[in-house]
Amino acid sequence: MRLAKCPGSLGFSQPKPRDVACPNCGAEVEIWSDEATARCKACGRIVIGSDTQSCIDWCRYAKECLGEETYREYGQMKAAIRKAALYQAVEERLGEDHVDVAFSRTVLRFGEQLCSQQEAADPMVVAASVVLLCLAGRDPAAVMPRGDGGTQGATGTEEVARILRDLHYAPDVIERVSAIHEMLAESRPPPAPDNLEYALVHDALLLASLEHRHTAGEAALPEAVVAQCLTDGGRSVAIELGRSLRPSLKAEAPE
């Protein structure tokens, strides 16, 4: 039986524009109800759409109501809003051009790639862990190259939890993100943890560091990264990345 669309889902299935005040200059920015962000024409800042809850977030019939494809697109929009809000919070504290913020975007790219291969993983936990890592007062020096900001002391973890609470993350998500940061802070992280999201963040950091070192002109050692990866997906990506970073292998590849 096909369900009639309820009013709560129409904002996404039948998008409408709405005006959102730019937090930087106060100008009105038009954002459609099926879009995550828009750029302010007055000052150029990226403005985030409303992240208020709708029946789509909790109704057990939401997928049937919207249809599978539209429901998937809604999930992608919500994920984009959450990431934009996290980066906005980080940039307000460190600055948009901070080296750690830029590096975290590379880590997140790998994290999302690895997460897409794991149905059991929670991409929300992975994304929050990666984006907020530079505020956690942690320095996983063997994995993540730090910028000139260095570590920020013991209050970093409290700041991460505060940001997540302000952004209305569930308590269990906050606990899981904090646990991942604590595990990354260990001098000897567990070699085979049962925390899947931690393993994905760990591997994403390794992969981003490998790419970063190569871009900076340093010696890239993909074999060492492969050996340190905790997931099969991480090892596969490290092997492919190592091949792409080696000019000799590129020269030998068939055209």
88 phi and psi angles, rounded to 5 deg: -65, -40
Q: Which run of H or of E encompasses 62?
A: helix 62-66
Domain ranges of the chain: 7-96, 98-245
Q: Measured between alpha carbons, how far is 44 from 37 in angstroms, rounded to an integer?
A: 12
Report the range of poorest mean pLDDT among 23-37, 59-73, 155-169.
59-73
For 12-44, how does the pLDDT look when each residue is reduced to its tens digit (9 = 90+)?
667 778 888 887 888 888 888 777 778 888 888
Q: Which residues contact 29 (CB under 8 A, 6 or more apart)?
A: 19, 20, 21, 22, 38, 39, 40, 41, 47
State the residue for tokens 């901070």. 98
**pLDDT band at residue 131 using 50, 70 and 90 as cut-offs:** very high
Structure tokens at 109: 């790219």
At 192 the pLDDT is 59
68 pLDDT more than 90:
no
Q: Measured between alpha carbons, how far is 111 from 234 in angstroms, rounded to an integer?
A: 9
DSSP string, 168-225: T--HHHHHHHHHHHHHHHSSS--SS-S-HHHHHHHHHHHHHHHHHHHHTTPPP-HHHH
User: Average per-residue pLDDT in the chain?
Assistant: 77
**pLDDT band at residue 55 using 50, 70 and 90 as cut-offs:** low
Strand pairing category for 37-39 and 46-48: antiparallel
Identify whether the C-beta of residue 131 lies closer than 8 Å to the C-beta of residue 102.
no
For 178-210, how does the pLDDT look when each residue is reduced to its tens digit (9 = 90+)?
988 888 877 566 665 688 999 999 999 999 988
Q: Measured between alpha carbons, how far is 74 from 51 in angstroms, rounded to an integer?
A: 12
**Euclidean distance between the first and the last CA atom of the chain, given in angstroms as a whole number:** 53
**pLDDT band at residue 247 using 50, 70 and 90 as cut-offs:** low
Identify whether the C-beta of residue 29 lies closer than 8 Å to the C-beta of residue 41.
yes
